[in-house]
Structures are given as structure tokens and as C-alpha cells.
Structure 1
């Protein structure tokens, strides 16, 4: 079994296949569409062998289908037939959930990804529960509006970090996880890692994509 993992982001698409030593980055952007992505991925992976695909998508996925276009990208993602486009079986999962699965080592895991927005997911045994926790109300807005990339630029690192720590505390009390993994590019800006937390790695998204085909996960 050879799997191609596609991690879709608002700035870059990152791909990696079974047995390959290095991932490949493909620029995306706010107007990026699946019709643009398919030929770019095929060209970038033309020397790789794969017979199935995992896609981590930055938005709402239900029963393996994208149900809404992403906020930070173009149109056409909702309902797009990736299996027909690639000609092989495809599993689609929320990108935070895919990284959470790749980070999982047992118990109840909460993943919080601090990047463009706030990605959240829970993993417990073979259940993967994607969440839109960043859209929950927080102060005069949502968690995402206070800890996303725009907030970091607007408020500065000091205030942004205070709000991140507050967010972690709220989510810990609500979901009672055994462990919290802090992912996303901005999590590396934190000076101190709270109790029962650890920094994740973007590489875990690929681990999660490979794991999707190893068991019958529910997500």
C-alpha cells in the first residue's frame, strides 16, 4: 500500500508519499481552486508510486466530503470529486484532525493548531472528532479572531500569547483531555508550554495521513 498525503493550506499545499524522504511544497493562495491543485500535485508527484490518497482539508468535512468552501481559498472545493480527478481511492479529513491523528499516542488527545486560524480536533482510540472550536464565542468575537494570525499581527506577540494561554485553559476545562498537542506554525512562538501540553510538528500531518489507511477510523 502506497499512500500520497496532501496537506492543503492557505499558503501552501504540502505533499508526501510512502517511502519518500522529503515533502514537496506547492504555493496555493486565497483564490486557489481544486482545478488548479490537481495538475500541480500530479506533476510534482509524477515520479512517486501511490495507489491511494489522504487529503487534509482546512475546513468542514463530513462523511469524507467537503461541505463548505474554505474561508482562505477559492471556490469549487465543496463536493469536488477527488477520486475521479486522481483515479484512485481518496480519504478526506479536516487538516487539524489529520495532524491530531498523527500526534496520537493514546488516551484522549486534544489538538489545537495556531496558524492562520485555530484548528481543533479530538482523538480517542479509533475515533477522530474534528471540531470548529475556533469559531466558538470568546470575548468580543471568537477564539479564532483572538488567536489567529491576524490577531498576532494586530495585537503583538505579548498580548497574543496571553490570549493563547487563556484559550488553552478554556479548552482544557471544557474537553478534559489527557494531553494537548499545540500545532500550527505560530505555536512555536510560545515561551512556555503549559502543563500537560507539548509542541506538535507539521510532519505529524503526514503521519496522520498514512495512518488513515491502517485502521477503520471513525471520523
Structure 2
């Protein structure tokens, strides 16, 4: 009787769970630079960290602070940075509320070298918008902080705007009338009056389906907003960092 040979069948391999990707989300502002580590669903891992933006915030100073925040946040696989200026192909063209040395500065490339991880860079209003828009229709986002940020989304596709430097009233720009300097100089009452006028003007200009208002001074709005206008949380400026990695229109041209 011949002995039957038993085939050696390889044992089934146990599926290996995919590694969760951690994103370091950084929000550079005129008064503070904030950062938090986020999981793939945008949930914060640990606490949000903040360091005051220094006077004359040069590239060297800002990069050093981002490196410090990165160490405080712990391990991460990639980083997204929202920056208050015009950004094209990872290069900073303007930074009116920071310091000198930003014109044509390759911030994205420099951060990749310092953080040793992939980095995506975009205007801070753009990143905040990515964190709050629905992706349907025409959605305008403005940020009321040190300056006046703005971005338009058309069915989820973003178009960066520089409305802050556009004429608004009496020969002054939106940033002149609604930036933080105007808030301090003119007071809450007059600032809110001008904001109400700006919302009416923007509605006529863009005929938007929804307007989202972010930034630190959004919390001081004291009048009833139209039904299609909403104040959004400042944390959207960090949570939008996840969406920046999902956004196909990474390279933006300023309108």
C-alpha cells in the first residue's frame, strides 16, 4: 500500500492592519502659531499647542517655532501648514502681517527639509475653508483675524482670493476696515457695522450659496446673520489640514 503524500499548504496569513496616518496640522497666524497632531478622521491626538508669533516674524523665526511645535506634538507622518499670505507651488509670495524676507520664499521645501516628512502648504483661509465647506455650490469663506482672509469654493474646488486688499469703502480695503487694527482703533460697534456692510457687498458680488466666517474676531459679531451665513470654529483651520491632503487642486493661483 502506497503512502499518500500530503501537500504542504501554506498557512493563511493574518491580515496586517493598515498603519494609521498622523498629520501635523499647523496654523500660522499674525498673533499665534498653533499646531496639533490629527488622526485620519481629523480627531486631535493630544492637546493643541500654541506659541506666540514673534515681532518681525521672519522665515527663520517661524520655521524654528514650527519645529518646536512639531516636537511638542510627537510623532507624525506628514504635515499641513496654513499660512497668511499668497502661496503658489509651495512658495510664499506675500506675508503682510508677519515680517521681512518672505517674498519668493520656498517655505514648503524648507519645512520638508527641517521636519523630515512630506509637507503641504496653503493659505490659512484656504485650509480653514477645506475644514468647513460642504463641497456643493458656491461657498465663500472669510477669516477675521490680524488681517482679512478669503477663498471661494465652487463645488468643492478652491479658488484663492485676496479680497483683503480689494477696495471696500471710502477708498479703504476690507483689511483696512475689518482687520484687527481697525477693530482696536474703531471699536466693536463700528467694526460690526462695517462687517454687516461687507456681508451685504460680498453677497451682491459673489451671489454665494453659503458664507462661512472664521478667525479670532468672528467671536465678537453682535448682530443676527443671514440664514446662509455661519460662524465657524477656529479649529477648522487645523482640521482642514487633513482635507489639504485629499484636495486635488493643491497648486493654486491667486485671483
TM-score by length of 2: 0.80
Residues of 1 paired with 2:231 and 2:86: CA distance? 24
Aligned match of 2:106: 79
- Please report how far the alpha carbon of residue 214 of structure 1 lies from its aligned counterpart in structure 2 after TM superposition: 2.4
Q: Does 1:49 align with 2:75?
A: yes
After superposition, give the CA deviation of every residue in 1:111-160 in whole Å (9 maximum; x if it has no partner): 11111121111122341112110111122211110111111122221111
More displaced, 117-126 or 167-176?
A: 117-126
In structure 1, what is the Cα distance between the partners aligned to 2:112 and 2:70?
Answer: 16
CA deviations 1:21-53 (Å, max 9, x no partner) are 321001113312232233433333325221211
In the alignment, is the contact (CA less than 8 A) between 2:26 and 2:81 conserved in 1? yes
Q: What does residue 89 of structure 1 align with?
A: 118
Distance in 2 between residues matched to 1:62 and 1:174, nearest whole Å: 25
- The partner residue of 1:129 within 159, 162, 169 is 159
Determine the structure 2 residue equivalent to 1:37.
62
Q: Helix, strand or coil for the counterpart of 2:238?
A: helix
Change (3 A) 1:125 1:21: farther
Q: Residues 10 and 30 of structure 1 are in contact (CA less than 8 Å); yes or no, is this contact kept in structure 2?
A: no
Verify: 1:10 aligned to 2:30, yes or no. Answer: yes
Partner secondary structure for residue 166 of structure 1: helix
Tell me whether 1:216 sits opposite 2:248 in the alignment.
Answer: yes
**Cα RMSD (Å) of the superposition?**
1.7
- The more displaced of 6-15 and 85-94 is 85-94
Query: Are the aligned partners of 1:59 and 1:94 in contact in 2 as well (CA < 8 Å)?
Result: yes
* 1:13–1:27 CA contact under 8 A, matched in 2: yes
Map of 1:1-219 to 2, 5 A cutoff?
Answer: 1-19=21-39, 20-46=45-71, 48-68=74-94, 70-77=95-102, 78-80=105-107, 81-107=110-136, 108-138=138-168, 139-195=170-226, 196-218=228-250, 219=252
Q: Deviations over 1:83-112 (max 9, x none)?
A: 222222111100011101101113221111
Separation in structure 1 between the aligned mates of residue 185 and residue 32 of structure 2, nearest angstrom: 23
Which structure has the larger Rg over C-alpha atoms? 2
Secondary structure of 2:172's aligned partner = coil
User: 2-side partners of 1:76 and 1:82: how far apart?
Assistant: 16
Q: Cα deviations across residues 166-200 of structure 1 (Å, max 9, x unaligned)?
A: 11111111111110011111111112242110111
C-alpha distance in 1, partners of 2:68/2:151?
32
Q: Which runs of 5+ in 2 are unaligned?
A: 1-20, 40-44
Structure 1: 5+ residue runs without aligned partners?
none
Range that drifts further, 74-83 or 103-112: 74-83
How many residues are matched? Answer: 218
**What's the offset of the Cα at 1:79?**
2.4
Q: Distance in 2 between matches of 1:93 and 1:128?
A: 11
